[in-house]
Amino acid sequence: MGFSKTASVIFDVDGVIVDVSQSYHYAIKNTAEYFLKREVPIEEVRRIKFSRGINNDWLATLEVIREFGGNASLEDIIEVFNELYRSLRDKERLILEREFFERLKALDIPLGIVTGRPREDLFYLFEKYELLPYFECIVDEDTIEQEELRKPHPYALHLCVESLGVEKGIYVGDSLADWLMVRDYRRLYEKPLTYIHVGERIVPEGVRFTSPLNLFEALQEALQNL
Ligand SMILES: [Mg+2]
């Protein structure tokens, strides 16, 4: 099929490539409970995480703590969170397997990652499942020195698009922060980028997908329409 080689597909990681419902979501919950000294329902954690445009899970944890009437310093949150997350990370399971990226690579499309996941945690996952060879560009939480330019700032996306050397593309995300990043990217850099959304409809645009097969078809269609 004749897709333009000036197009790429860029992925968010958590909730798109890997299911973090048993890892990061519980790291937020358990960390918040540690500081609040009371139980926080997991549904409340997910509601706050997905609907408020917060990309970073440490900040999402702070938001949960505040929502339940508590407070803590970000420094203390990070320390507790990281320890809890590392005890949970082997519960993560791939949503998109190697075969999926194999098929996409067969279309001759350069692939990228723009994620808020810290590098150590990203490499732990991608090495475990041998995903690293599929991506020409990875922008993680540690790639950009200036904190204010990291995801969800559109510069993170811009950096990835530029280093892939493409003119246009697709971003696949699963949160309000993902969509806001794409929207701001279009405004700031005045370049086209199609957004595809996974999960609950909490953003005003984007094709939803519910299975990898479904996503592959949505991507093929979007690539043809670029
Ligand atoms: Mg995500």
* pLDDT tens-digit readout, 163-189: 999 989 999 998 888 999 999 999 999
Contacts of 203 (CB under 8 A, 6+ apart): 176, 178, 179, 195, 197
Do 125 and 43 lie in one domain? The reply is no
Tell me, what CATH number does 194's domain have? 3.40.50.1000
* CA 125/CA 89 separation, integer angstroms: 9
Do 51 and 70 lie in one domain? The reply is yes
For residue 60, how far is its CA from the centre of ligand 1 (angstroms)?
12
- Which residues make up the environment of ion ligand 1, defined by Cβ < 5 Å? 12, 14-15, 174
For residue 205, how far is its CA from the centre of ligand 1 (angstroms)?
16
Strand order through the sheet with 7-11: 137-139, 111-114, 7-11, 168-173, 193-198, 207-209
**H or E stretch including 195?**
strand 193-198
Domain boundary among 39, 74, 90: 90
Residue 32, domain extent: 24-90
For residue 154, how far is its CA from the centre of ligand 1 (angstroms)?
15
Do 15 and 109 lie in one domain? The reply is yes
The answer to whether residue 2 is domain-embedded is no
Do 118 and 48 lie in one domain? The reply is no
Question: Per the structure, how many domains does the chain have?
Answer: 2
Do 125 and 14 lie in one domain? The reply is yes
Domain boundary among 90, 118, 141: 90
* pLDDT tens-digit readout, 76-125: 999 999 999 999 999 999 999 999 999 999 999 999 999 999 999 999 99
Residue reference for tokens 């703590």: 65
Domain boundary among 90, 115, 139: 90
